[in-house]
Chains A and B, each alone.
Chain A
Amino acid sequence: MLDLMDTAPCGFVAFTDDGTIDEVNQTLAEMLGYTRVELLGWHIDKILPPGGRIFHHTYLFPLLKVQSLVEEIYVALRTKDGRDVPMLLNGKRRERDGKLVSDCVLLRMIQRNEYEEQLLQARRLAEESSAAKAKFLSMMSHDLRTPLTTIDGNAQLFETGAYGPLSGEQLEGIEAIREASRVLMTMVNDILEFAQLDSGRVKVQPVAVPVADVISRAVSLVRVQIGEAGVHLTTDGCDGDAAVLADPGRLQQILLNLLTNAVKFTPPGGEIAVSCESDGARVRIRVRDNGIGIAADHIERIFSPFVQLETTPAHATPSRGVGLGLAISRDLARAMHGDVTAESSPGAGSVFSIDLPAAHAVAFSESST
């Protein structure tokens, strides 16, 4: 059996809890440039590079001790002549001959390591690029907001007659300026918020929020749009005492986004229904419409940033946004340990769901003292 172990095309080492090498096969000894006899009785640290020793003591050993099993751990072992050999390790801690030992199988992974190096390098570059993009978007949005506020503020002064009376044509022109600046401001705010979410700088402060209150406020805020669009809105099951753990402002923002989208994509005479369900641990708020719907292969795309499907219905006004509303909504929901999902098919309308933890299900409990 020992012969088979020694000729197996993989390394094997067993070490005790104090790190003493209890057994090692010939394959591993040769990979590292030692003889079996040399390695037996050594401390495992001696064949680990310094960083690997920290890794062993802070992760590998604690995991073996508490879980008894580790799989697919990347390690590097140091050879007699000081080279580091990348390896993949599977280990199991067990009792053998009255001793507790960790048996580890090691596979050399030279080519795979080079490939993973490339992957890592690509990821680092992508992260740097993403951070630079977020910084650029954030700076640009800040710089754009200031002049936009000035434009809208001055236009408002003209509109209210602060600079003297205006003709009807002039008032129309001023209104056009204000509308354009509002559209631009929405876009800038969306970009800024998305950049902040993307860089993890948006903080949510979850508290217990009664679902009925949030829905009631959101519905009142879109009532004018609902009237203008000629659609009907109903709520169902949302008048109970269900509460979610969420940031009230952020939840309202998500719900408003879903309701605004529903109004936009539902033809005159159509129906929008807001419903609520709870299974005790989670609460789900659904916004259902019988609008134009979304093809199955586009469902996930709509949550991607800067994506707007070219399906704006003829009755709807062109979008004010830049395709960030759903991306922001989903990111916000996830920041509150929830999610936003969609179900839809063309012609059959859409159902957007906000899933959040129920408030009572996550309360802190102190164990007995």
Chain B
Amino acid sequence: MDVLSRNNVKVSGSGTQPLLFAHGFGCDQQMWRFITPAFERDYRIVLFDYVGSGKSDASAYDFERYSTLDGYARDVLEICEALDLRDIIFVGHSVSSMVGVLAANRAPERFSRLIMVGPSPRYINDAGYVGGFERADIEGLLDLMDKNYIGWANFLAPVVMKNDERPELTKELNESFCSTDPKITRRFAETTFFSDNRADLPGLTVPSLILQCSEDAIAPAEVGNFLHAALPQSTLRRMKATGHCPHISHPEETIEAIRTYLAA
């Protein structure tokens, strides 16, 4: 199996050091479209879709392999091997932050830094730990996904959109956005939101940046603090950006935060 084709890997940029962007749960590599242009000149940009997301080869999906985040980390490492990436700056959104930790723990020699956007090592509250959610809340999400499954064809179908008032807001998309297989997406949700990677944090030897949004409903401030305390060599940056997706809601601030960290 060709890994680059399996994960719909796209490489661009004029630089040599790889900036490897990993999308989070719920979408695909297009989530980075507001960020990557700012780094094209100085870095080698590597984008990919997890198997079952975007334009990846869904036939390569293995329910057993991807039932833990380790399976996704193996994908990342296989991409690194296929492109022979070294000195990698890994940028992961949400769940991909932990995928990055797992990948860097397995092959620390490939990674130079980890940049985590809205990370959380565990979404469900535990004794002495605030994750933000109870198990029933995650089951509520799965129920919501199941309900949308009924109308999924429309929900995730390719859409070509024009914004008549501000056409520059939404460049016409001639391809599907966030097209995913509903069964795989549901499984990805279970894998993501029932995961617990707290024990993997102290072993990280690669320096990391935690980008913590204000009022992040998915990864609250307590989670950012926990990560900062648990991750050796970590930098915590509290952003003005609210929500969980600063790379699409506040791309300028996200770009500035990444640039500042890389320049330090």
Interfacial residues, chain A to chain B (CB-CB below 8 A) = 17-19, 43, 45, 49-59, 61-63, 65-76, 86, 93-95, 100, 113, 116, 119-120, 200, 204-205, 335, 337, 362, 364, 366-369
Contact = CB atoms under 8 A, between A and B. Distances in A.
A67 B178 CA distance: 10
Interface string B153-174: 0110001010101100110010
Interface in B133-180: 133-134, 137-151, 154-155, 159, 161, 163, 165-166, 169-170, 173, 177-178
B243 interface: yes
A75 B140 CA distance: 11
B162 to A, nearest CB: 8
Nearest to A52: B144
A86 to B, nearest CB: 8
Contacts of A71: 154
Interface of B: 1-2, 4-5, 9-14, 24-27, 30-31, 33, 44, 59, 63, 94, 132-134, 137-151, 154-155, 159, 161, 163, 165-166, 169-170, 173, 177-178, 193, 215, 217-218, 241-245, 248-249
Given A73-B155, A100-B169, A369 B13 contact: yes
A251 to B, nearest CB: 15
Given A54-B218, A74-B151, A367-B10, A49 B27 contact: no
Contacts of A50: 132-134, 137, 140-141
29 contacts: A17-B243, A19-B243, A45-B215, A50-B134, A50-B137, A51-B137, A57-B245, A58-B25, A58-B245, A62-B245, A63-B178, A65-B248, A65-B249, A66-B178, A67-B170, A69-B161, A73-B151, A74-B148, A74-B150, A93-B163, A95-B165, A100-B169, A119-B150, A364-B9, A366-B10, A366-B11, A367-B10, A369-B11, A369-B14
B69 to A, nearest CB: 16
A52 B146 contact: no
Contacts of A63: 177-178
A95 B63 CA distance: 42
Contacts of A18: 241-243, 249
B254 to A, nearest CB: 13
Contact of B248 (A45, A62, A205): A62
A300 to B, nearest CB: 20
A94 B163 CA distance: 8
A43 B9 CA distance: 37
A120 B161 contact: no
Given A58-B24, A68-B163, A116 B147 contact: yes
